[in-house]
Amino acid sequence: MRELICIVCPRGCHLQVDEQNNYSVTGNFCPRGEEYGRAEVTYPMRTVTSTVRVKGSTHCRCPVKTSHPIPKHLIFEALSILSNIELTAPVHPGQVVAGNICGTDANFITTRGL
| CATH no., domain 49-110 | 3.10.530.10
pLDDT tens figures, 83-113: 999 999 999 999 999 999 999 999 999 999 9
Domain residue spans of the chain: 2-42, 49-110
β-pairing, 86-88 vs 49-55, is parallel
Q: What pLDDT is attached to residue 58?
A: 87
pLDDT tens figures, 64-86: 999 999 999 999 999 999 999 99
What integer best gives the mean pLDDT of the chain? 94
